[in-house]
Structure 1
């Protein structure tokens, strides 16, 4: 049983490393902000979760699991928030091409500045 759990942990570490590598390659290769945000958040967070699961399987200790749960929860809380903030700032700066947007929910805010009170 221990050997099977070690093999599963090894496979999960390799899978997590591949996901994190694909996120890094996506950050370098993609051209526009929305696709880079996708590469920076989704595969990277999933890779971290898979690696944390592999660590928990490998060490088989409840204190380790108790340490890894907040790490995963903080990552799940901060990655979407930071991606949202970067996306909003890119929209405000005009670095997101309007032709790439299917629905522009912030079009009114572009016409009226936020501090104008309108």
Structure 2
């Protein structure tokens, strides 16, 4: 049984590392901000989750699981938030192609100054 769990941990580590690598390549290769944000958040978070699961399987200790769960939860909470803030700032700077947006919910806020209360 220990060998099966070790092999599963090895496979999960490799899959997580591959996802993290594809996230890094995507951040470097994609041209626009939304594509880069997608590459920076989705595969990176899943890769981290797989690596944490592999560590928990490999060490087989409840204190390790108790340490890894908050790490995953914090990553799940902060990755979308940081991507949202970077995307909004890119929109405000004008570095996002507005023609490629299907729905532009911020168009009205762009016309109204932030201090105008609207």
The answer, yes or no, to whether TM exceeds 0.5 is yes
Q: CA-to-partner distance for each residue in 1:11-44, whole Å, 9 max, x for gaps?
A: 0000000000000000000000000000000000
Structure 1 residue runs without a partner (length 5+): none
Q: CA-to-partner distance for each residue in 1:41-89, whole Å, 9 max, x for gaps?
A: 0000000000000000000000000000000000001000000000000
Structure 1 consecutive aligned stretches of length 4 or more whose deviation exceeds 3 Å: none
Q: Give distance in 2, aligned partners of 1:47 and 1:117.
A: 42
Structure 2 residue runs without a partner (length 5+): none
Q: TM-score, normalised by structure 1?
A: 0.98
* RMSD between superposed Cα atoms in Å: 0.5
Q: Give distance in 2, aligned partners of 1:47 and 1:113.
A: 40
Q: Secondary structure, in 3 states, of the residue corresponding to 2:102?
A: coil
Whether 1:113 and 2:113 are equivalent positions in the alignment is yes
Q: Give distance in 1, aligned partners of 2:72 and 2:50.
A: 10
Q: CA deviation at 1:117?
A: 2.1
Aligned residues: 118
Q: Give distance in 1, aligned partners of 2:112 and 2:74.
A: 35
